[in-house]
Amino acid sequence: MTSLAIGSGLPDQPIPHAMILPVGDDEFEAELFCRELNLFLEATMRPRLRTIYETRIHPELVERLGREPTRREIAKAMREVEVNKLWYSLRTQTQQAMYKVAGEIIERQAPSLKQAARNLENGPGTLTLDPDLEIPRYMQALDTHNLQGGYHTEREADDLRAGAIYDRNMTVNRMGMQGALTDDSGITMSGWIESAFPDLKPKRILEMGCTVGHTLVPFKQRFPDAEVIGIDVAAPCLRYGHARAAALGADVHFSQQNAETTNFPDGSFDLVYSYILLHETSAKALPNIIRECHRLLRPGGVMMHGEAPQFDELDAYTASLRDWDITCNYEPFMDTIYELNLEEIYRDAGFAPGASFRHFIPSEHVRKNGVDPRITRNGGKFFVTGAVK
């Protein structure tokens, strides 16, 4: 069997598609080590930090403040706790180690990866790039997820490395967290759309911020008769995503566009959605994106955004856990985006008052495969908000 490890004594992991590169024994061990360390930090150590908070830090804060602490006060206090400092440091180092290992695997086989993409360039599906598209300033200003160059940086012609690293980290290093194809988000959210809006029967579907198509492909599989289009500003991710989707036999279309101002006509979609896009945009870009969703939907069409829950859905301690992402993982916008009144922004964009929704959807991956929710990205649930036009 072709596997992720070449000749390793470790259990074989089948390669999920043609764009995932095979690895040698040492690389396999290194990836396995990073994956296990990550799981240990999430599933074993995170709950211990909560115990420290509940038994020591929370009583101290209440005593000092004379009231319950806010998420920011909790985060500030926890930053002083030695084991929490260690957790922050190990989590950051594990992430850097993952990038290093994935980067070396991809670098070593760069010609094969490019060739694999060329073999798949005729589809199914299409790729439309716009070399003149301006990358939003909020993306240029920081290396999102602490990955050098973020999603968009191109180091050579036809570069697809940022997409390859993203897929490798989600699919190989976090294997099991979101399904073998990192498709739990798309399977779960598209299933919910089908059952919550049985009359929608979408014929045209747009994903904003599709990266390499992890969520896009399952939407096509759920609604095979629909035209399914994914937009993103990052060319390396779109190139990789097109090849990956073609390798999976999915007839989906990738287009390089800014979600704030797309080139599609008014009212031309039945469903416009995103998954973990909003928290990576600025508080200025977000309302523009919502207005664009409203413009693109036909009357009766549905807008849905899958995200981590807004802070008002969480207890203050759980909300404070975003502090690592905000301070160490170059995701500063989480601090404000998860605090916004989305429903007000939906109304300002033209959606009728009362037309919005919020929902927690149980993960299909957890339900079907009995996966421990602690090791899933979302604790076993997907949070969606949106509105019907």
The Cα 277–Cα 386 span in angstroms is 13
Q: Which is nearer to ligand SAM, 97 or 133 (CB)?
A: 133
Token pair 């076993």 is found at 380
For the CB of residue 19, give the shortest distance to ligand SAM in the complex, in Å.
14
Contact 149, 143 (CB under 8 A): yes
Contact indicator for 262, 256 with CB cutoff of 8 Å: no
Q: Which residues, including other chains, have CB under 8 Å from residue 250's CB and lie 6 or more apart?
A: 124, 125, 213, 216, 217, 220, 221
21 vs 286, beta carbon nearer ligand SAM: 286
**Smallest separation (angstroms) from ligand SAM to the CB of 310:** 17
Beta bridge partners of 255: 128, 231
Nearer to ligand SAM, 78 or 238 (CB): 238
To ligand SAM, the closest distance from the beta carbon of 208 in angstroms equals 6
Decide whether 52 or 283 has the Cβ nearer to ligand SAM: 283
Q: Where are the alpha helices (DSSP H) in the chain?
A: 25-39, 46-52, 58-65, 71-78, 82-108, 110-119, 137-140, 161-168, 184-196, 216-222, 235-247, 285-296, 316-320, 323-328, 334-337, 342-348, 364-369
Minimum CB distance to ligand SAM smaller for 152 or for 365: 152
| Rounded distance between C-alpha atoms, residue 79 and residue 74, angstroms | 9
Which parts of this chain interact with ligand SAM (CB under 6 A)?
A: 136, 139, 151-152, 185, 208-211, 214-215, 231-234, 237, 258-260, 275-277, 280-281, 285
Least gap, CB of 161 to ligand SAM (angstroms): 14
Cβ 225 to ligand SAM, closest distance in Å?
22
Q: What is the DSSP letter of 153?
A: -
Cβ proximity to ligand SAM: between 33 and 138 the closer is 138
Closer by beta carbon to ligand SAM, 69 or else 186: 186
- Smallest gap from Cβ 327 to ligand SAM, in A, equals 18
Q: What's the CA gap between 167 and 97, in Å, rounded?
A: 16
For residue 210, give the nearest of 306, 339, 335, 110 by alpha carbon: 306
The b-or-e profile of 279-316 (16+ CB within 10 A means b, else e) is bbbbeebbbbbbbbbbbbbeeebbbbbbbbbbbeebeb
Coil, strand, or helix at residue 351? coil
The residue (of 234 and 252) whose beta carbon lies closer to ligand SAM is 234
Give residue number: closest CB to ligand SAM.
209
Least Å from the CB of residue 80 to ligand SAM: 30
In the complex with ligand SAM, the residue whose CB is nearer, 102 or 277, is 277
Taking every pair of C-alpha atoms in the chain, what is the biggest distance, in angstroms?
A: 65
Q: How far is the CB of 213 from ligand SAM (least distance, A)?
A: 7
Measured CA distances, 339 to 8, 17, 293 (Å): 47, 38, 21
Q: Are 234 and 167 in contact (CB under 8 A)?
A: no
Q: How far is the CB of 361 from ligand SAM (least distance, A)?
A: 15
